[in-house]
Copies of this chain bind each other. A is one copy, B any other.
Amino acid sequence: MAVITKYLNLNTSGEEDIIDITNDVSKCVSDSGIKNGIVTVFVPGSTGALTTIEYESGLLQDFPHMLNRIAPKDIPYEHDKKWGDKNGHSHVRASLIGPSLTIPFINGQLLLGTWQQIVFIELDIRPRFRKIVVQIIGE
């Protein structure tokens, strides 16, 4: 049994940028030499999130449209009143989707579906540098 911690460096293009990190996470798993176990992908930060999606251009619009229904950009947020950050909606969206994703793998292969990609979602209102944690535990 071993624990291997790696990082992905991302430069996001700004709000609602959805980045396919499947190949990067797969490479972390391969490079770790661990055959069977779980990989935990985690974003340190409170305005980004991780999930899986079928990575095609339609859904890359549909998912943000849904976020805008549940946490619209154009309504008042207490966070913005207090801090002037203008990203109150970014924070509540990130907390709802969640900062963490755990994916099992066997024989060095992630057990994803064919049309299922791992994505980082930039929810902040400006381009950000993001250092994503990829931690592999297994044997």
Contact = CB atoms under 8 A, between A and B. Distances in A.
Q: Assembly of this chain: how many copies?
A: 3
A27 to B, nearest CB: 18
Interface in A22-38: 36-38
B58 A80 contact: yes
Interface residues of A, number: 61
B96 A96 contact: yes
A2 B65 CA distance: 43
Interface of A: 1-3, 5, 36-38, 40, 42-46, 51-54, 56-59, 61-63, 65-66, 69-71, 77-83, 88, 91-92, 94-104, 106, 111-113, 115-116, 133, 135, 137-139
